[in-house]
Structure 1
Amino acid sequence: MYIGEQIINPTAERLRLSSQLGATHVVIDTRPNEQLKGDDGAWDAKKVAAQRQWIEGFGLKLDVLALDVGSILLDSLYKTEAAARTVERLRKDIRAAADGGVTTLKYNLQMVGITRTGFAEGRGGVRCSAFRAADYSPEKDASFSYWGVGHPGGGAHGADISVNALGTAEAVGQVLGTQSGGVTEQQGWHAISCFLEAVLPTAEAAGVRLAGHPHDPAYPPGGLNGVNHVVGSLDGMRRFINLAPESTAHGFNFCQGTIAEMSREPTKVVLEAIKEFGPRGKIFMVHFRNIKGGYLDFAECFPDEGSVDMPACIRAYRDLGYTGILCPDHVPVSELDPARERFFAFALGYTKGLIQSA
């Protein structure tokens, strides 16, 4: 296994920094990725290859691209013609990625934003994105959630990270629960099943792996604003994989932080998930991050200070023979590091140290 960075719209300077920090691989999380699109709105294989070759020029390997699934999950429930159009575009994107030399694509299962209710103060006064179900309101959701590639700390203190993107193209189809029309458990599984049935055959034929990110965060029983997060538990993760258990294209963007949020015993649930899905070959990439707290009440934090035993996780990956990427994700924000480059540098160094010690 190895460290890497997940970056949105990287500049040459940012890729140089990644290389200088010891990262060997990158994940490009740009959504919508306009620079890859051809005249028909789908990715162009030559443009994918050009981006990959550009990144390789910095001594890095492009491991993963983000597949912009847009609002296809909600659309499959309420706007079936729009969902069908998105399916055709996604099939083209998958084939173009393969032809351009990229064989892993990640995607987000969110139908609504990555729900947060505020900030918690962390060490030295940093601000840590937090979710406390007891404090939930649609107003806090709109202000503090992650919308697509937007970050709730974006736009503050001169940050160059993406601003809270609700209502923009960068929200990639995510909406407030009150705007969604509602998603029952049955509808949630129907939407995900329709998506997988539509894209997995294309991915399998192209030799591309599709890494799905679990629902972040786990919602309380009955959901929030009429929306259920069906892949917000270990049982939900099992059911998700078992929708196509034999498919070589079907697996996880294995977000440790999100999985930790599913339980009041974060280390236990993360280790259980690693040991269950790792041997099945279903961990395609890892978001190596930590939280303080657990189910329905947590704050994001630096990787060394949270509730998850990160050295134990590294040993678990080692023992099962995981050979893929570990990406820092969701570090805190501060006016002292508005682009979070130093905070991500710390997380990379911490992760590399754990790998070496294991």
Structure 2
Amino acid sequence: MYIGEQLINPGAERLRLSAQLGVEQVVIDNRGTGLVTPGGLWDAGKLREYREWVESFGLKIDLFALDVGSILLDFLTDEDGARRQAEVLQKNIQIAADAGLTALKYNVQMVGITRTGLRPGRGGVQYSGFKLAAYTPEADRQHSYWGVGYPTNQDEGDAESALLCGQKMAREVPPVTEAAGWRAIEFLVSSLVPAAEKAGIRLACHPHDPAYPVGGLNGVEHVLGSIEGLRRFLRLSDSPVHGLNFCQGTVAEMAPEPHAYVIRAIEEFAPRIFMVHFRNIRGGYLDFAEVFPDEGDVDMNEAIKAYQRAGYAGILCPDHVPLSELDPNRERFMSFALGYTRGLLHAAGYRPRITTLAG
């Protein structure tokens, strides 16, 4: 296992910072990189050049984001349009392989990553949280994560990244029943996995965040909101390229006893985990806050041991750190999470590559 960072269109200084923090492998979101042509296809030459540019900082792209857009919602209302989108995604998978990439990540979120407010934390930070009893459409609009953004009272109408992700307010979409949700996901998996197998690209799926109550929220079901849902998802294909972006925080949000649930999920799914969002929460199912990794209800040291026992050997990325005006870009808090994770890995016997010092 090794530490890594998930970055959105990083500049040279940000990549230098990652390298200086001891990061050797990164996960890159493609938005803003200029790699996407007007028709949605990636520019193969630019993607290869981009990979080589990242590598010039001593970093390797571990995974690259495959934006599936609104294909899941479209499949339920415009199947022909969804199939045309699938053809573009299939071509992008091959382009990624031709550019020297080995793995892609995607998110099956149809509506925003639902949050209902900010809670006070240590030293005056704010924790993003979800509490079903406090849910209102206005709280959803103000505090949910849209696209790749953080919950900083974003205006849904101006959230370009949300549009790119295909995420909308739940009131804006038709009902997504459990059966409909599975139909859409089955279509996506059947469209992507054969192309990924042919290209030799692994696909890591991020589950629904957060788990919704039985019966859904605003008519939308989150079918990948439990271990049972993740198990069914993995059974959609036995291909070795079909796996998970295992968001540990999202999994913790699925249960009233998050620690035991996370350990159970790691033990079951480790062979199909291609990357980990190594984050923590306080609380549990339908009532939680996203906190620093050292202060949540999941024992992160025990989680590391569980990954180790299960044979996971991949990347651990910080994610969803708290908010503060003292760290508007969250670089300090991400650095703290990286150092904390590196310390846990050291305690478990992992050591980073030794860099030779000049002079």
TM-score (norm 2): 0.94
1:174 maps to 2:149: no
State the 1:34 CA deviation. Answer: 5.1
Change (3 A) 1:66 1:95: same
CA distance in 2, matches of 1:107, 1:41: 15
What is the CA-CA distance between 1:9 and the residue it aligns to?
A: 1.0
How far did residue 39 of structure 1 move? 5.7
- How has the CA–CA distance of structure 1 residues 152 and 287 changed in structure 2, closer, same or farther, with 3 Å as cutoff? same
Of stretches 38-47 and 89-98 in structure 1, the one that deviates more from structure 2 is: 38-47
Alignment of 1:227-306 (within 5 A): 227-244=220-237, 246-278=238-270, 281-306=271-296
* Equivalent position to 1:346, from 336, 345, 355: 336
Whether the 8 Å CA contact 1:148–1:165 is kept in 2: the answer is: no
- Tell me the distance in 1 between the aligned counterparts of 2:87 and 2:159: 23
- The 2-side partners of 1:301 and 1:147 are apart by 19
* Partner of residue 67, structure 1: 66
1:194-245 CA-to-partner distances (Å, cap 9, x unmatched) read: 111111110010001110001100001111000000000111111111111x
Per the alignment, do residues 287 and 164 of structure 1 end up closer, same or farther by CA in structure 2, a change over 3 Å counting?
farther
In structure 1, distance between residues paired with 2:155 and 2:126: 15
Judge conservation of contact 2:141–2:156 (CA < 8 Å) in 1: no
Note if contact 1:254-1:287 (Cα within 8 Å) is conserved in structure 2. yes
* Contact in 1 for aligned 2:277/2:317 (Cα 8 Å): yes
1:106-136 CA deviation, whole Å, 9 max, x = no partner?
A: 1111011100000011111101110000111
Letter in 1 for 2:287: D
* Secondary structure at the counterpart of residue 303 of structure 1: coil
Who is 1:214 aligned against?
207
2:27 aligns to what? 27
Q: What residue ranges of structure 2 are gaps of 5+ in the alignment? A: 349-359
Q: CA deviation at 1:164?
A: 5.5
CA contact (8 A) 1:150 1:165 kept: no
2:254 aligned counterpart, secondary structure: coil
**Pair 1:335-2:325 in alignment:** yes
Q: State the Cα distance separating 1:168 from its structure 2 match.
A: 3.8
1:298–1:39: structure 2 CA closer, same or farther, 3 Å change rule? Answer: closer
Matched, 1:11 2:4: no
Matches within 5 A, 1:64-213: 64-153=63-152, 168-171=159-162, 172-213=165-206
Q: Percent identity?
A: 60
Q: CA separation of 1:39/1:219 partners in 2, compared to 1, >3 Å: closer, same or farther?
A: closer
Structure 1 residues 279-305: Cα deviation after superposition (integer angstroms, max 9, x where no partner) = xx2000000000000000000010000
Q: Aligned pairs, how many? A: 346
**Partner secondary structure for residue 152 of structure 2:** coil
Instruction: Tell me how far 1:332 sits from its aligned partner.
Output: 0.5
Who is 1:159 aligned against? none
AA matched with 1:27 = V
Q: What is the DSSP-based 3-state SS (H/G/I as helix, E as strand, rest coil) of the residue aligned with 1:77?
A: helix
One-letter amino acid matched to 1:222: G
Shift, 1:72, TM fit = 0.4
Report the TM-score when normalising by structure 1. Answer: 0.94
* Cα offset, 1:318, TM superposition: 1.2
Q: Which moved more, 1:79-88 or 1:184-193?
A: 79-88
Q: State the match for 1:158 in structure 2.
A: none
Question: Is the CA contact 1:110–1:215 (under 8 Å) kept in the aligned structure 2?
Answer: yes
For residue 37 of structure 1, report the CA deviation from its aligned partner: 2.1
Asked if the contact 2:73/2:184 (under 8 Å) is kept, the reply is: yes
**Counterpart of 1:197 in structure 2: which amino acid?**
S
CA deviation after TM superposition for structure 1 residue 167, in Å: 5.4
Give the root-mean-square deviation of aligned CA atoms: 1.2
**Kept after mapping to 2: 8 A contact 1:147/1:166:** no
SS at match of 2:147: coil
SS of corresponding position for 2:34: helix
2:40 counterpart of 1:41: yes
CA distance, structure 2, for counterparts of residue 37 and residue 108 of structure 1: 18
Q: Secondary structure at the match of 2:167?
A: coil
- C-alpha spacing 1:323/1:153, structure 2 compared with 1 (3 Å): same
On the 8 A contact 1:142/1:166 being kept in 2, the answer is no
Q: C-alpha distance in 2, partners of 1:97/1:169?
A: 24
The letter of the residue matching 1:178 is: R
Contact 2:45-2:99 within 8 A present in 1 as well: yes
Structure 2 SS opposite 1:35: coil
Task: Report the secondary structure of 1:311's partner residue.
Answer: helix
Q: Name the CA distance, whole Å, in 2 between partners of 1:310 and 1:208.
A: 30
How far does residue 24 in structure 1 lie from its aligned partner after superposition? 0.8
